[in-house]
Structure 1
Amino acid sequence: MKKGFMYLLAMFLLIGFLAACGPDDSKKSGEKEDAKTTDEMPEKPETLTLWVNDEEKQREALEKMTKKYTEETGIKVEMIPVSMLEQIEKLDVEGPAGNGPDVIYQPHDRIGDLVLRGLVEPIDLGEKEEEYTENALKAVQYEEEYWGYPAVSETYALFYNKSRVKEEPKEMKQIMEIAEKDTNPAKDEYGFLLEAANLYFVYPFFSGNGAYVFGNENGKYDTTDIGLNNEGAIKGGELVQEWYEKEYIPQDLTPDILNGLFKEGKVSAVINGPWMVREYEEDLGEDLGAAPIPVLDNREHPKSFVGIKSYMLSYYSENKKWAQDLMAYLTNFESSLLYYDIAGELPARKDAMEDPEIVENPLYSAFAEQTKYGEPMPSVPAMQQVWEPFNDALNFISKGEPVEEVLNEAVESIKQKIESTGAN
C-alpha cells in the first residue's frame, strides 16, 4: 500500500514538472509579469486633487493639460486655486483632516521647510530624471532625494527699451553709462532700475563678486558658513549703495512703480523676470528687448538665482502612485510647451528649452541663456531665515549706512534666527 502511494506521488510530481516546462510556460510567465505590473500600479482613483496657484493664465493652461490627462486615463482632476504662499499652512491643517490635495505646487526653495514639517514625500523620477535640466534636478534635491517634478524654470534678466537703448548692453559699464545719461528723477525718468532692496534681484551683483548664501560642497549646504558679508558681498553692497547715492534708483521704488515707469517708456532698462514679458510687450511692442544680465567689471557673468517651481506629492495623499503619474504628465514635453504658450513661463525640461518656439523667441531665449549662468536658490529650511534680515540690510545700505557693518549685523541676525528655529 505504501509502495503504491509513493508511486502515485512520484507520477504527480513528474506530471507537474512536465507541465511547468511545457509549451505554455512563456504564457504563464507573461501572465505573472502582467500581475506584477498591476500590483505596481494600484487601481485608478476616480479623482486626483491638485492645488494650483491662483493665477488666471496658469489655471487656463492647467485646465487644458488636466482635461487631456482625464481623456487619456479616465481620472478626473479637481483643481483648487490656492496661492503658493498659502498652500503650506493650509496643507498643515487640511492634510491631517483628510481634506488635503494629492499634489501641491511650490517653488523649490521651500522644499526644506516642507520636509521639516512632514508635509511632502520624496518622489521617484526613475528614467525621467534625464529629461529635466541640470539646475532643475539640483533644485528639487534635498537630503539626496528628489521632492518634486520640475515644471517651471525662472530667473531674471535685462529688459530694455530699444527706443532709448540702441544696442544690446553686454557689460555693466554700459548700463552705468545709460543710467548716468538717462536718469532725471525730477521727470521720473531713469536709465536703469531694479528692486535693489530685495536680495532675490541684487544677488547677481554680490555673487558675481564672490559672495554666496551658504557654503556648498557637492550639493550639501553648510548653513553655518554664510558668505553674505565677505569681501565680495561688501563690494556688491558698495555698488548698490552707489546707485542710490547717484539717484539712479529712488528710495521709494516698488515693483508697481518700476513696472509702470518702464511700460510708460520712462526707463531705459530694468531687471525683472519672464513673468513680465507679455505685460511689457503689450505696452512697448517691438521696442521691447531682452538680454542676459551684462557681465561685471571683472568679466564674470552675474549668477542670478534660479527658481524651480515643481509639483510635489502630499504626505497625506492616498493615491501616491497615480499622483506621481499626474505630475509626470503635467511636466512632459507637450504639457511643458502648452504651459509656456499660455502662461508664458519657461519649462524645466531640456527638450522643451531647446525647442524652436523658445530658442527663436529673442525675449524668452534671453532668460533661457541667463539660467545657464544662474544657481538654484538653496532649498534648505534655513533659507527662509535669510530673506528678512538681508532685505533689511539692503534698506539700511540704501540710506547710506556703513556697508560692512550692516552686512555683519545681517549675517549675525541670520545665524541667530537659524539657531532659534532649528532650521538647519
Structure 2
Amino acid sequence: MLKTKFISSSFIVVLVLSIILTACGPQRDTTEIKQEASNGEAPDKPEELTFWAWDDILSTFQVIGDRYTEKTGIKVNVIDARNADLSLDAPAGKGPDLYYETHDRIGDSYLQGVAAELTLTEEQLSGYEESALEAFTYNGKLLGIPSSVETIGLFYNKELVPEAPKTIEDITNIAANLTNTEKNEYGFLNITSDFYPMFPFLTAAGGYVFGENEEGGFDTSDIGLASDAVVEGANLIRSWHENNYIPKSVTYDVMNGLFREGKVGAIISGPWGIPDFSSGLGDNLAIAPLPTFNGNQLQSFLGVKGMAISEYSENKYWATDFALFMSNPENSKFLFDELKRIPARSDVTVDDELYQGIQEQIQYAVPMPNIPEMAQVWNPMGDALVFISQGEDPKEVLEEAVATIKEQISLLDGSN
C-alpha cells in the first residue's frame, strides 16, 4: 500500500544543488555583527542600500524606504528580484544589502552562506513576537528581523453557524447537522490531503514534527508523527470521511467556492482568503481561533516573513538599522493598512475584526521548522493523509510515512 518511495529525480537534483551551493558559501566571519562601532559610534553612512523584495510589496516598501531616506539621508533602492539567485549573485557582488525572506527558507539561506548572523540588544528586540524571533533563529543564531506573521484560523458563515465553534466536538456536531451531500452542502470542510492545515488536527492530542536537541535546535532523528497521540488525531480525520462529512477528494477550489457561495458552515483557511470570502459572504463572514481538544487549544503552523542581511554586504550595520526601521510599530501598522500583513509585533494590534481572529490564533501557533529537512516531510505526510481518508490503518500509514521521511533525510545528510 504505502510502500512507495518518494525519492524522485527532482529530489536528487535539489540535493546535489544544495550540497554544491553550501560548499560555495563564504568563509563566514565569526565576528559578531556589531550594532555599534568599536568607538561607540555608528560607522559612516553609505550613499545607498539595496533591498530585494517581491513584486506585490515593492511600492509599499519603497514608501518606507523613502521615509528612511528622509530620516538618515541614505537612499534606499527596493528591487524586484529572485532570492533563488542570491547564492550566485551575492558572491559576485551583484546581490543586495538585505532581502525579504520567509522564515522556513532562512536555514537554507544561512547554509548557503548568504544570511548573516545578527546580534541585537534586548531594547532592539523589544516588542517583537517571541515566536517570530524564534522562527528566524537557526541553531541558536538569529538570522532575520521579522516583519509579518500568518497562520490559519476557523472561518465560519454566521448565517449557518451563529457562534464560533469552541471545540472539535462542536465542529463534528456542525458537520453532522449541516452536511447534505446531495445538495453539495457541508457543515465543515478542510483539505485533509494537505499536511499544513491538517497539522493542528493530527497533533490535537499531542505530537510534533521534530524533537529538540540539547542545543535547543531540531533533532531530525526524532520525528513525532507516528505516536499514539498523532494516531488519535488521524482516527478523527478518518471518521470525518467515514461519516461523509468531508469528501475524500475535495480541492481548495471546490472548498473555497462552496464556502464563498454560502454552502459550507466552516472551513480552515488563512488571511490570504479574507478578501475573496468577504466579497462572497459580506457581514456573514467571521473568523475565530482554532477549536480546542480536551481543553487544549489546537496549535497551527506559524509563518513569518522578514528581512535578512546579506553576509556579502559591506553595510551590515545600516542594513540592519533599516530592517529594524521597516518593522518598527509605525511602519508595521502601515504595512498592515496597505497590504494586510499582520505585524510580527506584540505591541501592535490590528483594528480589523476579521484579522483579529487570525492574530488571536498566532499566540497558539508554533513556527514551522526552518531547517532544510522540513522539505522532506510534506509529500510523505500528504500521501499518508490520502491513505487515511481512504480508510487505511492510521498507525501503519503514519509509521510508513515517518520511515520515508527518515530515509530522505538520510540522503540529504549524506549518511546513507
TM range (shorter): 0.7 to 0.9
- The question of whether the paired residues in 2 share the 8 Å contact of 1:381 and 1:423 is answered with no
- The structure carrying a bigger helix percent of its residues is 1
Query: Residue in 2 aligned with 1:351?
Result: 347
**Residue 203 of structure 2 aligns to which amino acid in structure 1?**
S
Gaps of at least 5 residues in structure 1 are 1-32
The alpha-carbon deviation at position 368 of structure 1 amounts to: 1.8
Superposed CA RMSD: 2.2
Q: Which has the larger radius of gyration?
A: 1
Give secondary structure in 1 for the equivalent of 2:343: coil
- What is the aligned counterpart of 2:263 among 266, 281, 287? 266
Measured after TM superposition, the shift of residue 203 of structure 1 is 0.8
One of 155, 158, 161 as aligned partner of 1:159? 155
Aligned residue identity for 1:45: E
For residue 59 of structure 1, give the secondary structure of its aligned residue in structure 2.
Answer: helix
Letter in 1 for 2:44: P
* CA deviation after TM superposition for structure 1 residue 186, in Å: 3.3
Distance 1:42 1:254, change over 3 A: farther
What corresponds to 1:41 in structure 2?
A: 43
Alignment map for 1:102-117 (pairs within 5 Å):
102-117=97-112
String of CA shifts for 1:285-325, please: whole Å, max 9, x gaps: 211111111112x2211111112212111222232222111
CA distance in 2 between partners of 1:203 and 1:189 (Å): 25
Question: In the TM superposition, what whole-angstrom CA distance separates every residue of 1:230-284 from its partner, at most 9, and x where no partner exists?
Answer: 0011111122222222232223322232222211112111111122223322222
Query: Does the 8 Å CA contact 2:209/2:223 hold for their aligned counterparts?
Result: yes
1:146 aligns with 2:142: yes
2:53 alignment counterpart: 52
**Quick one: which amino acid aligns to residue 109 of structure 1?**
D
Partner of 1:120: 115
Q: Percent identity?
A: 42
Instruction: State whether residues 116 and 381 of structure 1, in contact with CA within 8 Å, keep that contact through their aligned partners in structure 2.
Output: no
In 1, the alpha carbon distance for the partners of 2:148 and 2:46 equals 27
3-state SS of the aligned residue for 1:224? Answer: strand
Relative to 1, partners in 2 of residues 1:320 and 1:53: Cα closer, same or farther, differing over 3 Å? same
* TM-score for both structures, normalised by structure 2: 0.85
Is 1:132–2:150 an aligned residue pair?
no
Q: Distance in 2 between matches of 1:211 and 1:97?
A: 44
Cα drift, residue 37 of structure 1? 4.7
1:81-120 to structure 2, matched below 5 A, reads 81-82=80-81, 87=83, 89-120=84-115
Q: How far off its partner does 1:380 sit?
A: 2.3
Q: Is the 1:42–1:321 contact (alpha carbons within 8 Å) kept by the matching residues of 2?
A: no
- Pick aligned residue for 1:247 from 244, 249, 255: 244
Q: Contact 2:190–2:255 (CA<8 Å) still a contact in 1?
A: yes
1:200/1:34 CA distance change after superposition, 3 Å: closer
1:395 paired residue among 386, 393, 414: 386
Distance between the aligned counterparts of 1:414 and 1:286, measured in 2? Answer: 44
Residue 392 of structure 1 deviates from its aligned partner by: 1.8
1:414 aligns with 2:415: no
Query: Number of aligned pairs?
Result: 378
* In 1, Cα distance between equivalents of 2:38 and 2:387: 65
SS in 2 for 1:192: strand
- In the other structure, the counterpart of 2:64 is 65
* In 1, Cα distance between equivalents of 2:253 and 2:314: 42
Measured in 2, the distance between the counterparts of 1:212 and 1:34 equals: 42
